[in-house]
Amino acid sequence: MFLYLGISIVWFVGILKLKYWKIATQLNILFMLTLGVGRLFSMLVDGVPSNGYIFGVVAELVLGAFSVYQLKRYNLKNSVQ
């Protein structure tokens, strides 16, 4: 539980301070994609779960993919300057 709280604090600090945005985004990619992939693996092993669980998988994968997009956009923007 405290791991999730700690990660949430890093995300919040990344929102407030631009200096920490990149590490917060990288942490979000790691967190969301590993949860989503873990849930997908669980679905393969245990079978199709409830609709709420499936929504969680989709949401985690979408948030992780969006974070990858944002990080690439940020890196492109900074490399042009």
pLDDT digits (tens, 9 = 90+) for 25-71: 999 999 999 999 999 999 999 998 999 999 999 999 999 999 999 99
Largest pairwise CA distance in the chain: 49
**Contact predicate 26/72, CB 8 Å:** no
The mean per-residue pLDDT over the stretch 5-33 comes to 95
The count of structural domains within the chain is 1
Distance separating alpha carbons of residues 79 and 4, to the nearest angstrom: 32
**Global confidence as pTM:** 0.86
State the residue for tokens 């631009």. 18
Find the helix or strand (DSSP H, E) in which 1 lies: none
**Contact predicate 49/38, CB 8 Å:** no
User: Which residue segment(s) compose the domain that 58 sits in?
Assistant: 2-80
**Contact predicate 25/71, CB 8 Å:** yes
pLDDT tops 80 at residue 80: no
